[in-house]
Amino acid sequence: MSTAIAKQAHAVLKNHPRDEPSALVNVLHDIQDEFRYLPEEALRLASEHLQISTAQVFGVASFFKGFHLKPRGEHICTVCMGTACHVRGAPRLLEQAERDLGISSGQTTPDLQFTIEEVNCVGACALGPLVIVDGEYNGNMTPHRLTKLVNKIQKKKGK
Amino acid sequence: MAAFKNAKQLADHRKKVVASRPENRKAIAVCAGTGCKAFGSYKLLDAFKKELKKRKLDRKVELRATGCHGFCERGPLVLFFPEGMLYQRVQVKDVEEIVKQTVVKEKVIDRLLYQDPTTGKKHKKEEDIPFYKHQARLVLKNNGLIDPTSIDDYIRIGGYNSLVKALGMGPEKVLKEVKAAKLRGRGGAGFPAGIKWETCRNTESDKRYVICNADEGDPGAFMDRSVLEGNPHSVVEGMLIGAYAIGADEGYVYVRQEYPLAVERLEIALDAARKQGLLGKNILGSGFGFDIHINRGGGAFVCGEESALIASIEGHRGVPKRRPPYPAVCGLWGKPTNINNVETWANVPPIIDRGAKWFASIGTQGSTGTKIFSLVGKVNNTGLVEVPMGMTLREIVFDIGGGIPGGKKFKAVQTGGPSGGCLPEKKLDVPVDFDTLLREGAMMGSGGMIVMDEDTCMVDLAKYFLRFLKFESCGNCTSCRDGLMRLHELLVDIAAGRGTEATIDLVEELAQVVRDTSLCALGSTAANPVLSTLRYFRDEYEAHVLKKRCPAGVCKELITFRIDPKTCNGCTLCRVRCPQEAVVGKKGQVHKIIQKKCIKCGICKDVCNQDAVIVE
């Protein structure tokens, strides 16, 4: 087994008790916080650590929307698709993000810079429509402001 | 600080905390809920801290970061004590003036007060503002007063007193009290909490669990998030009392992963409670022991269903099981387990504190107490409102919510999330309680209340919910997994103008099949958004299939954008902003949209200052 991923994964796993199946979702969160996605190697180590089958680990990891089995971009642009955001125009924001970045929702740009994601509701409905970029909540969003925001991040990277 | 060994030590500590912070002491409370945080309240806190230090007031004036006040629309909110004055939309640049004028000279800064948009009247105090005036805050009462990261703040206002009282009453009496209060579960179905507790308690077992369901999955509802973020100890105390009555010694809080701040605040609260001996073994010398774990969800709506939630805690995929046996009999790891949601648990301490009789006197006969609603969508005062059960929709939407923005016409209110339904204008005078809403084809759900105006298309809304549910179906039952997919396809067809009258009939028939043949509540209520919109807004469906028109101007395939030559002043804004270069026209001359190129993104309509872009 390789290397860097295994080392990082071990560091995450040692904070969780062994043979404790109920820790699985928490473990997956911690692995994802570390790698921004769930590498297969880390999942195998988690299954060993918690003493649950790899099939079950994979089953849970692929069941939940919050987990990602493919590498994600450095910047995550999450469009809230909750009902309150929807009636205030969230679908238009998603389309704008897709146009600006040239990828569809759920995809990552080839340079691994941006990923567009949807979330069902983050409970900040009063600010809708809402886009979360790198953990920052941007309320009362418009397509135009979203473009500006994305451009700003891209420019920063260019420098 | 050492752990409290008995109730007296807790009471003595409370006296000390109260004495160290007299009622008339000046304090600034900045809302640090998710909404206000997004508006920059943390920067505001820093600015206040600096300014107070600069003026050497930092020891005299207390600065507090509190939980959500509910009035998210006007954030960031700042409260001043002891007066109870509220400033809204406060910016960092206002801080210096506020400290100088309001804190030192006790002068009011007029422009920061809330102004009623209808009467033009300015209000100083929170309780005078119409948004708050009509509310009855029981669970949210302390959100704006206390620092959620300080257990002393909670103890100061009488926190953990109900636990002491409960420990003195004995488990049977506590159970009797909750039953007499007729507390019903605030998570959706409204099952009587006392009966659930009793079943769990009466099931023979060596081990019992209590679970707090904080997997608030209904899009458009965020009261549980606010309670956990703003007053986590009230939930901990509720769970402690419940565990004591039921005979459980271990608890779980299952929180959505989308609520990082709630997890953080809860972790702090649990740590503090453990240190003070309010969680752990032999709590306050009573012999009763209890502790709580936090489990984060993974972003699956179905995990709000109790058997799916339990499966998820056990480390499995969140797939619901057949009930009975109910979790109260056979739940987590096969042991009797009592699950209530955040708001339900937070209602427990006040019931023990003030008695079942008092609690049952609030609300209606069948639905006692208050309910928190998240009033969102096309409404002026968005935010969290807590009202007595039985208040009418009209009072909530118009008196508290301030009506519809931009002079638009009210169309419907959607309650109960994806399992709920839409109620039209003629149902505005319906009292909001568990049973009435169900009878009208909607449901209480966890309390999302999404207001819609004439610009909302009901077909689009039904389509939205089905898309949501189709992705969230766990895949266990064919009727739900495949039925929802087909229903969504049919609605896509209708929205695109490809439907006929037969499509509507098919939608209705399929919706009923999904409802009748799915195992869990997700499937059996999934058809509600379709059936309720069909029940009250059939004409909109018919306009889509017969006239190939979307009356609200939402469904893309059925609308066109054009520029009104009479109003266009040729400012070029739409031409510049159009992502498709579909707008042509010279500066100062009337612009035109080339329909072939137009993708109907609506940006031209957004940017037009003259309201010259028409959607047909």
Tens of pLDDT, residues B445-493: 889 999 999 999 999 999 999 999 999 999 999 999 999 999 999 999 9
Closest residue by Cα to residue B366 from B447, B436, B429, B448: B436
B252, part of any domain: yes
Identify the band that residue B31 occupies on the pLDDT scale cut at 50, 70 and 90: very high
Residues 209-248 of B with CB under 8 A from A: 216-222, 225-226
Strand A131-133 to A136-138 pairing: antiparallel
Residues of A in contact with B452 (CB under 8 A): 87
pLDDT digits (tens, 9 = 90+) for B514-555: 999 999 999 999 999 999 999 999 999 999 999 999 999 999
User: Is residue A18's pLDDT more than 80?
Assistant: yes
User: Is residue B100's pLDDT more than 90?
Assistant: yes
B136, part of any domain: no
B146, part of any domain: no
pLDDT computed for residue A2 by the predictor: 63
- If asked whether residues B172 and B305 sit together in one domain, one would say yes
Residues of B in contact with A89 (CB under 8 A): 602
Residues of A in contact with B295 (CB under 8 A): 22, 25-26
A70, part of any domain: no
- If asked whether residues B500 and B408 sit together in one domain, one would say no
A111, part of any domain: yes
Q: How many domains, in total, are found in chain A?
A: 2
Identify the band that residue B185 occupies on the pLDDT scale cut at 50, 70 and 90: very high
For residues B604, B607, B608, B609, the Cα torsion angle rounded to the nearest 10 degrees is 180
- If asked whether residues A81 and A154 sit together in one domain, one would say yes
- If asked whether residues A100 and A32 sit together in one domain, one would say no
Q: What is the Cα Rg of chain A in Å? A: 18
Alpha-carbon distance B38 to nearest alpha carbon in chain A (angstroms): 5
Q: Which of A67, A76, A87 to mutate to test the interface with B (most CBs of B within 10 A)?
A: A87
- If asked whether residues B449 and B463 sit together in one domain, one would say no
B1, part of any domain: no
C-beta separation of B4 from B10 below 8 A = yes
Residues 544-583 of B with CB under 8 A from A: 577, 579
Three-state DSSP class for residue A78:
strand
- If asked whether residues B290 and B375 sit together in one domain, one would say no
User: Is residue B494's pLDDT more than 70?
Assistant: yes
Helices within chain A (DSSP H only):
3-13, 24-35, 40-50, 54-63, 83-87, 90-101, 143-158
Q: How much is the average pLDDT of B57-71?
A: 92
Q: Say yes or no: B320 contacts chain A, CB-CB below 8 A.
A: no
- If asked whether residues A117 and A150 sit together in one domain, one would say yes
- If asked whether residues B519 and B606 sit together in one domain, one would say no
pLDDT digits (tens, 9 = 90+) for A112-145: 999 999 999 888 888 889 999 998 999 999 998 9
User: Is residue B500's pLDDT more than 80?
Assistant: yes
Alpha-carbon distance B70 to nearest alpha carbon in chain A (angstroms): 9
B103, part of any domain: yes
Q: How much is the average pLDDT of B121-125?
A: 93
pLDDT digits (tens, 9 = 90+) for B252-275: 999 999 899 999 999 999 999 999
Identify the band that residue A159 occupies on the pLDDT scale cut at 50, 70 and 90: low
B44, part of any domain: yes
Question: Across the A/B interface, how many CB contacts are shorter than 8 Å?
Answer: 166
- If asked whether residues B181 and B263 sit together in one domain, one would say yes
Please state, in angstroms and rounded to a whole number, the distance separating the CA atoms of residues B540 and B460. Answer: 10
Q: Check CB contact under 8 Å for B219 and A95.
A: no
Estimate the share of chain B in helix, then strand, then coil, as percent rounded to the nearest 5.
45, 15, 40
Q: Check CB contact under 8 Å for B297 and A63.
A: no
Identify the band that residue B73 occupies on the pLDDT scale cut at 50, 70 and 90: confident
- If asked whether residues B445 and B483 sit together in one domain, one would say no
- If asked whether residues B344 and B281 sit together in one domain, one would say yes
- Token pair 């209000």 is found at B123
- If asked whether residues A131 and A56 sit together in one domain, one would say no
User: Is residue B66's pLDDT more than 90?
Assistant: yes
Q: Check CB contact under 8 Å for A121 and B601.
A: no
Please state, in angstroms and rounded to a whole number, the distance separating the CA atoms of residues B264 and B153. Answer: 17
B7, part of any domain: no
pLDDT computed for residue B517 by the predictor: 95
pLDDT computed for residue A155 by the predictor: 87
- If asked whether residues A97 and A153 sit together in one domain, one would say yes
pLDDT > 90 in chain B, percent: 88
Residues 468-487 of B with CB under 8 A from A: 468, 471-472, 474
User: Is residue A1's pLDDT more than 60?
Assistant: no
Query: For residue A111, what is the domain's CATH number?
Result: 3.40.30.10
Q: How much is the average pLDDT of B303-317?
A: 95
A9, part of any domain: yes
- If asked whether residues A33 and A11 sit together in one domain, one would say yes
pLDDT computed for residue B352 by the predictor: 98
Considering only the beta carbons, identify the residue of B35, B313, B465 that sits closest to A124: B35
Q: How would you class B312 by CB atoms within 10 Å of its CB: exposed for 0-12, middle for 13-18, buried for 19 or more?
A: buried
Domain of A35?
3-63
Q: What is the mean pLDDT of chain B?
A: 94
- If asked whether residues A49 and A86 sit together in one domain, one would say no
Q: Which of B222, B385, B533 to mutate to test the interface with A (most CBs of A within 10 A)?
A: B222
B162, part of any domain: yes
Q: Say yes or no: B35 contacts chain A, CB-CB below 8 A.
A: yes
pLDDT computed for residue A45 by the predictor: 96
Q: How much is the average pLDDT of B1-29?
A: 92
Please state, in angstroms and rounded to a whole number, the distance separating the CA atoms of residues A36 and B489. Answer: 33
pLDDT computed for residue A133 by the predictor: 94
Residues of B in contact with A124 (CB under 8 A): 34-35, 38, 72, 222
Q: How much is the average pLDDT of B147-172?
A: 97
pLDDT computed for residue B1 by the predictor: 66
- If asked whether residues A82 and A143 sit together in one domain, one would say yes
Q: Check CB contact under 8 Å for B220 and A26.
A: no
Alpha-carbon distance A157 to nearest alpha carbon in chain B (angstroms): 23
pLDDT computed for residue B509 by the predictor: 96
What are the CA-CA distances from residue B86 to residues B33, B77, B131 (Å)? 16, 7, 13
Q: Which one-letter DSSP state was computed for residue B192?
A: B
Strand A114-119 to A75-80 pairing: parallel
Q: Check CB contact under 8 Å for B414 and A83.
A: yes
Amino acid at B29: A
Alpha-carbon distance A33 to nearest alpha carbon in chain B (angstroms): 12
Write out the two tokens for B133. Answer: 């005036």
- If asked whether residues A103 and A143 sit together in one domain, one would say yes
pLDDT computed for residue A158 by the predictor: 65
Identify the band that residue B419 occupies on the pLDDT scale cut at 50, 70 and 90: confident
List the single residue in A with minimal CA-CA distance to B415: A83
- If asked whether residues B302 and B389 sit together in one domain, one would say no
Q: How many domains, in total, are found in chain B?
A: 5
User: Is residue B408's pLDDT more than 90?
Assistant: yes
Residues of B in contact with A65 (CB under 8 A): 298-300, 471
Please state, in angstroms and rounded to a whole number, the distance separating the CA atoms of residues B217 and B223. Answer: 11
Closest residue by Cα to residue B28 from B117, B120, B115, B94: B94
- The last residue of one of the domains, among B360, B381, B396, is B360
List the single residue in A with minimal CA-CA distance to B74: A126
Q: How much is the average pLDDT of B576-596?
A: 94
Out of A34-48, A96-110, B112-126, least confident range:
B112-126
Please state, in angstroms and rounded to a whole number, the distance separating the CA atoms of residues B298 and B295. Answer: 10
Query: For residue A23, what is the domain's CATH number?
Result: 1.10.10
User: What is the CB-side half-sphere exposure of residue B8 using CA atoms within 13 A?
Assistant: 0
Q: How much is the average pLDDT of B291-320?
A: 94
Write out the two tokens for B161. Answer: 């007193």
Closest residue by Cα to residue B461 from A87, A123, A124, A121: A87
User: Is residue B604's pLDDT more than 70?
Assistant: yes
Q: How much is the average pLDDT of B396-423?
A: 93
Please state, in angstroms and rounded to a whole number, the distance separating the CA atoms of residues B431 and A156. Answer: 54
Alpha-carbon distance B211 to nearest alpha carbon in chain A (angstroms): 14
Domain of B113?
25-81+85-124
pLDDT computed for residue B301 by the predictor: 93
